[in-house]
Amino acid sequence: DAGVIQSPRHEVTEMGQEVTLRCKPISGHNSLFWYRQTMMRGLELLIYFNNNVPIDDSGMPEDRFSAKMPNASFSTLKIQPSEPRDSAVYFCASSRSGDPPSSGFFRHVGYTFGSGTRLTVV
């Protein structure tokens, strides 16, 4: 298994530009998470998909951020327009779960993280 695959590994862009981060989850995993990690705020959950459907996007900072999961093997996180404060490492993670909200199975599976995208907005 190739694990969770993210691209690009590094992205440097100018303020105001559109940035698209990509993620391929592990085959068979039906839950996908986008996280952002900074020194100041640690790991923050941005959005959670289950069976390709966005379940909770309350962590998305503002309207400049959007995420899609058109199929079980691909997700994107887009920032438009980007700002310097968006600079961070963005992780995608996947796991197997039952359908929310009632499946206890979900709680008993570790997440597999991708290698992350280090975004720098100048």
Partner 1 sequence: GQQVMQIPQYQHVQEGEDFTTYCNSSTTLSNIQWYKQRPGGHPVFLIQLVKSGEVKKQKRLTFQFGEAKKNSSLHITATQTTDVGTYFCAGFDLDSNYQLIWGAGTKLIIKP
Question: What does the binding site for partner 1 look like in residue numbers (CB under 8 A)?
Answer: 31, 42-43, 45, 48, 50, 55-56, 91, 93, 97, 100-104, 106-116
Tokens encoding 45: 């959950």
DSSP class per residue in 61-105: -STTEEEEEEETTEEEEEESS--GGG-EEEEEEEE--PPTTT-GG
Q: Which is nearer to partner 1, 17 or 105 (CB)?
A: 105
Q: Nearest approach, Cβ of 3 to partner 1 (angstroms)?
A: 10
- Residue 34 CA to residue 47 CA, distance in Å, equals 5
Residue nearer to partner 1 on the CB measure, 17 or 27: 27
CB distance 34 to 68 below 8 Å? no
SS3 50: strand
Q: How far is the CB of 94 from partner 1 (least distance, A)?
A: 12
Nearer to partner 1, 39 or 71 (CB): 39
- Cβ atoms of residues 114 and 93 within 8 Å: yes
Query: Cβ 15 to partner 1, closest distance in Å?
Result: 25
Q: What is the smallest separation between the CB atom of 42 and partner 1, expressed in angstroms? A: 5
Cβ closest to partner 1, residue 71 vs residue 102: 102
